[in-house]
Homo-oligomer: A and B are copies of this chain.
């Protein structure tokens, strides 16, 4: 490890910290809005969002696409089923696997929330030039891939 032993680190310039703060600010704003307006948590919103686009997924498939673990999905789905927004049946070919779909009420929530969410995103990005936006999002993609590699195992340094 060829790093100067006397290196200095200011939190406000440290990327992981800055990502965390920004993500938190944004998520808190959205979570508050989802909760107030639709009685939805962020995990629940994520489940609705993927089921609206691809109905019939299993819980594991939902977990994959929402970057949540299976327990979080189970809880979110339980809540959504309770409030009549998701219907749960069992796959006839494999009775362990669930088949999740939005009900009419679930689709309605999705349709009402999407304009709100997109508008929030639009306003967040409003002051960036289109070229800045696109560079930012492609960098985000690359960082995500990179972080995935570095993360779990990359604990040596």
Chain A residues packing against B (C-beta within 8 Å):
1, 3-12, 14-30, 32-33, 36, 46, 49-50, 53, 65-67, 111, 114-121, 123-128, 132, 135-137, 139-140, 142-144, 146-148, 150-152, 154-155, 157
Q: Is the CB of A150 within 8 A of B123?
A: yes
Beyond A3-B119, A119-B3, A142-B128, is A19–B26 a contact (Cβ under 8 Å)?
Answer: yes
Q: Is the CB of A9 within 8 A of B119?
A: no
Beyond A19-B19, A139-B128, A140-B18, is A155–B36 a contact (Cβ under 8 Å)?
Answer: yes
Measured CB to CB, the closest approach of chain B to A11, in angstroms, equals: 5
- Choose among B36, B66, B152 the residue that contacts A11 (Cβ–Cβ < 8 A): B66
Residue of B nearest to A25 (CB): B147
Majority-rule SS of A interface residues:
helix
Q: How far is the CA of A146 from the CA of B33 in the complex (A)?
A: 17
Q: How far is the CA of A5 from the CA of B114 in the complex (A)?
A: 8
Residue of B nearest to A32 (CB): B155
Q: How far is the CA of A14 from the CA of B121 in the complex (A)?
A: 8
The 28 sampled A-B contact pairs (Cβ below 8 Å) are A6-B111, A11-B50, A12-B65, A14-B49, A14-B117, A14-B121, A15-B26, A15-B137, A16-B23, A16-B26, A16-B124, A18-B137, A19-B140, A20-B26, A20-B27, A20-B67, A22-B144, A22-B147, A24-B67, A26-B147, A29-B152, A33-B155, A119-B157, A124-B146, A125-B143, A128-B143, A132-B139, A135-B139
